[in-house]
Chain A
Amino acid sequence: MTDIAIVDYGMGNLRSVSKALEYVAPTVTIIVTSDPATVEKAERVVVPGQGAMTNCMRELKKRGLHSAVLEAAANKPFLGICIGLQMLFEESEEGNIKGLGILPGKVLRFPPSAMATPDGQKLKVPHMGWNQVHQTIDHPLWQGITDDARFYFVHSYYVETTGPVAARSNYPFPFICAIAKDNIFAVQFHPEKSHVAGLTLLKNFVNWTPHYADQAR
């Protein structure tokens, strides 16, 4: 029995995510897998992601992981990271492609015209580095993490949604950097690269028993 499956669809470095999970949960079985059956059998699922969302969606489908990810997002503790957050939504400006459509909303590029501080200094894209994460709800995954703690980000696109927001950051305008719905928690930043705050969030995920909206478990 795999406790945690990290979904591998061939996009970049998943080692960081598995190493960080092993570090906070040494007794848990963690498998990096591209096998849909393994994902289906896992107790918890992590969907990381790097690079272009266009490639991520293509590879996910090519490897037959599309439905396994949808299934996991429907009924088991699910953590999306970076592109793993962005792909939950309906569509992305990046390559004008469709996402999984699990949550309402879209993925937008930081608009060049907005990328300056109030005193006129240019802000770079990608948004790269440690930014403050302002928690907008109480959630078990925020347990032990100070509000406005800094996490490591690296991305050029962000999510806009009418759905359930769990945190926002500023660059230079407030943007959504975490969402939470039932068994789904997804973040734009990289907890696996965010030192103590990130490790705390991963540990909280390992110990999390979600409340489901429509069924008792």
Chain B
Amino acid sequence: MGLAKRIIPCLDVNNGRVVKGVNFVELRDAGDPVEISRRYNEQGADELTFLDITASSDNRDLILHIIEDVAAQVFIPLTVGGGVRQVDDVRRLLNAGADKVSINTSAVQNPQLVADATAHYGSQCIVVAIDAKQINSNDVSPRWEVFTHGGRNPTGIDAIEWAKKMQSLGAGEILLTSMDKDGTRNGFDLALTRAVSDAVDIPIIASGGVGNLDHLVDGILKGQADAVLAASIFHYGEHTIHQAKQYMAKHGIEVRL
């Protein structure tokens, strides 16, 4: 027995509410972030990830208050991402009670931010989020490109090379989302997950596409992910975290029950 594979529910937060959309459109309200965090904590979530998708700058500080509230009553690791542009944003989120901060678009625009943030706060609290899309139709030797701005802007950067570069700059973990799979409920992009997991030595969180519990199992066993992230299968009560873990355990995956 050893290290357990992790299940991480993801809360997309817009203007102080948890929402879920397909590719960030058609947002549907899923509830109060503090209440949902408490519920997932009770169900045995291994960590929680908050993605702040608030567009209006007026409401950007809402996430800090939410994290403060959650951190006072939920004692598992909290990751927060969305709109992190400078080291000072990292500091403010950590001070509010985040344990890790996830950097996505700003890592592409300014890779030095990852180096500076890890030098200052340590690799353990810097997650680099990569949104990747397959750019050829060759499934024998697929290639994936990094996209920014919630998957809207192509960068020309190869996702595998990018993951390696982020590791070398000090990132402690990679949150890997397939733009092709996100919102489809057809399962993770397993080839992408596997390729990135093989390419780096830091943990990989698989994200994008979970529609049932078998997808979680596949992400670990076939994708070789260290953790699996999902939103909608938990938000709308289809499955509890505990059910998901029992199902994974039944398939021989070590989990924290």
Residues of A within 8 A of B (CB): 11-13, 15-16, 19-20, 22-23, 50-52, 112, 115, 117, 121-132, 148, 150, 152-156, 169-172, 190, 192-195, 198-199
Contact = CB atoms under 8 A, between A and B. Distances in A.
A15 B71 contact: yes
Main secondary structure of the interface of A (DSSP, over half): mixed
Contacts of A132: 1-2
Interface in B189-210: 197-198, 201-204
Contact of A129 (B1, B95, B97, B227): B227
B223 interface: no
A193 B203 CA distance: 18
Interface stretch (B9-17, B104-112, B119-127): B119-127
9 contacts: A11-B122, A23-B72, A128-B172, A128-B173, A129-B3, A130-B6, A130-B256, A155-B124, A194-B76
A214 B229 CA distance: 51
B236 interface: no
Contacts of B31: none
Main secondary structure of the interface of B (DSSP, over half): loop
Interface residues of B, number: 38
Most A C-beta atoms less than 10 A away, residue of B98, B99, B121, B125:
B99
Contact of B95 (A15, A121, A123): A15
Contacts of A20: 75
B202 A130 contact: no
Contacts of B97: 13, 15-16, 19
A170 B254 CA distance: 13
Contacts of B76: 152, 193-195
